[in-house]
Structures are given as C-alpha cells and as structure tokens.
Amino acid sequence: MPKRNGFTLIELLVVIAIIAILIGLLLPAVQKIRESANRMKCSNNLKQLGLALHNYEGINGQFPPAYQTTDTRAVGSAFGVSYPDDNGNGLPGWGWGTLLLPHLEQDNLFRRFDMNAGCWAPQNADAVKTKVAAFLCPSATGGSDGFEVQKEGADVRHGVPITLSNGNRVVFAHSHYVTNAGVHQPWGRQPAYSFDFDIPEPIPENGNKLARIDGPFYRNSKTSVAAVTDGLSNTVFLGEHSSILSNKTWVGVVPGAVTPPRLDLRPWPSENNAAGCLVGVHSGPDTHDHPEVIIHAPNDPFGHTDEMWGEHGNGCNILMGDGSVRFASTFTKPLTWVALSTRDGGETNGN
C-alpha cells in the first residue's frame, strides 16, 4: 500500500496540549497588560477631572459643590418628588459633574439641561442618561450604562425605583468617581442640622462632640483654593467608587433617594445611605458612630456605600487637590487616610 504522510493521533494531541499550555501562559500576561491600560485610562480620567475642577475654580472663585439645593427650607413637590427630605435636599439637585461639563468639552450636553428645573424633571430625562467617558473607569464591572435611582425599600439594605407623577422612573448616568466630604457624612446628620452643612452638629451620644463637614465637597460647599489650608497636595478631592459596590452619578441628587449596596452582584454587608451619597463619600471615623472606630478606607472589605472603591487591586485611584493622581492602598494607615480627607484639619498625615 502507498505510504501516507500525516500526523498520528498522539502527535496531534501533543501539539494541542502544547498550544493550550502556551495560551495558559500568555493569558495572564494579556490580562495584566489590559488592566495596566485600564488603570492608566482611569488615572487619565481623574487628571482630566482635576483640570476641569481648577478651570471652574479659576472662573468662579470656588470649586463646584458636590451638589446644589437653592433653598434647603423650601417645601414643595416637583413631578411627584417631595422636598425637602430629612437631609434638607431639594431643588434643583444638580451635581458636581454636571457643573463641570463645559470644562470637559461637553458644552452641547450641558446646554441640553434645564438648570432651573430639578435634575429629575421630565425635560431633563434624556440628557441625564448620557454616558460621559470621563466619568467611567474601564475596570469597573458593575455597570456603566445608567441606573434607576432608588428610594427607601422594604428594609435598610434595599431600595425601590423612584417613579415620577408621569409614571416614568428616574434614570441617571453612572459615575465611577465621587467627591470627598471629609471625615463626617453630611447624609448622616439629624434633620435639625441638615439645612446648613457649614454649621457643626453636636452629637449628644458622644458628649456633644461636634461633627463638622471638613472635606472639600458637600452640598452647597464653597471651597476655594485658599480654603484648603492643609495644602492641595495633601487633600483628597475625588476618588473611585465602582458600581459593583453601589451606583453613583455625576448628574445630581434626588430628594428622598437612597444608595443601596449592589446586593444583586455581591452579598455586601453594608446598608443604604441617603441621597447625598449618590455623589459623595467620606473617610470616617464619623462622630455619629459609637464608638468612633469606623474608618472607610479605600476598598474596605465591609463595602460601605460611602467609601472609595476601585477594581485595580487592593485600593483605588484618587485625585488630590493639586491635580495629581495617586493610588490609595487599602492598607493606608487610618490616621493618614483621615488626614488626607480633611481640607483644613492641620493634621500631619498620621506621621
């Protein structure tokens, strides 16, 4: 019989095995390169936001607030949303990201908003869903296509969608970056001290110690460069918060909203936070906590909905006030993290 050239079955299996081994060796390297590129893109996003913040400050004499409420004591209802809520939130609710749009080459999008109406108003419904790349980290796996804003649900860990009087739900675009409110949580204040966040709140349970909002961003904040006496390079302005933990937005704040943990993705042990947490986080230890031992370090495994969280390993990217971007490790000394979170605390960064 004529001789046939070809591979035997054993040779073919050996070749397939070798190819599989090579792919197995190559895949981690490819993933590492991809994550390195994602982390660099995330860092560049924060640098771009830092430039926008300083452009805004140069024009207005102050950085944008975390979000706006024109009159925290005004009582009313807009399209089925009553205001103020227990935290003094009301009209119009526009957030820091919306105010930065003209400085991010997003003038056309900014002009689509009716800034005199609530950020949840029907005439703003299409624009507030717009995906803006500068607010999105490519490593975030919890979603980037927008989310339904929630109000309090059956318990302290769940929410239900906010529905307007026209029957539509409120949907906002995602942001994977949040503002820093400092040590204390503005959204955790008692109603009597929620009308003006610049007034320190005495906490009777802690011997009337004062809870002062000491970060650079909170509702109606008017922080200027001169007000950051700790130094811009020593103060955290923005940081990551992945939508795998909770949904955040650049758009603004709806009165009565809550920020539930993403229990649909992971069994986070954390609870809901109030509306202001849609755009901001804090470091702790909050005077409201008893005892004051809770530090919201970056990527703290408890998964607080008001902590910074990135998907680049054990920590996240943060933007300092001088526009520089650093990587904040989960293992940062607690006192150092607290010191970096205040604008005028006079700390020595925990050293």
Decide if 28 is inside a domain. Answer: no
Decide if 181 is inside a domain. Answer: yes
Of the candidates 172, 163, 135, 82, the one whose C-alpha atom is nearest the C-alpha of residue 319 is 135
Whether the link from the prior residue into 102 is cis, omega within 30° of 0, is no
pLDDT at 31 over 70: no
Residue with tokens 């397939």: 16
Per-residue model confidence as pLDDT tens digits over 263-273? 999 999 999 99
Decide if 12 is inside a domain. Answer: no
Q: Mean pLDDT over residues 1-22, rounded? A: 72
CA 6 vs. chain centroid, Å, equals: 61
Residue with tokens 């000394």: 333
Decide if 110 is inside a domain. Answer: yes
In the chain, the largest separation of any two C-alpha atoms, in whole Å, equals 101
Q: Mean pLDDT over residues 176-191, rounded? A: 96
Q: What is the pLDDT of residue 351?
A: 46
pLDDT at 24 over 80: no
Per-residue model confidence as pLDDT tens digits over 75-125? 999 999 999 999 999 999 999 999 999 999 999 999 999 999 999 999 999
Decide if 21 is inside a domain. Answer: no
Decide if 25 is inside a domain. Answer: no
Binning pLDDT at 50, 70 and 90, where does residue 305 land? very high
Q: Mean pLDDT over residues 35-60, rounded? A: 94
Please report, for residues 222, 279, 302, 313, the alpha-carbon distance to residue 246 in angstroms, rounded to integers and kept in the order given. Answer: 27, 11, 13, 18
Of the candidates 9, 245, 32, the one whose C-alpha atom is nearest the C-alpha of residue 141 is 245
Residue with tokens 């930065």: 100
pLDDT at 248 over 70: yes
Residues contacting residue 182 through CB under 8 Å, at least 6 positions apart: 213, 214, 215, 216, 218, 282, 283, 341, 342, 343
Decide if 166 is inside a domain. Answer: yes
Portion of the chain with pLDDT greater than 70, in percent: 94
Residue range of the domain that includes 60: 41-341
Our count of domains for the chain comes to 1
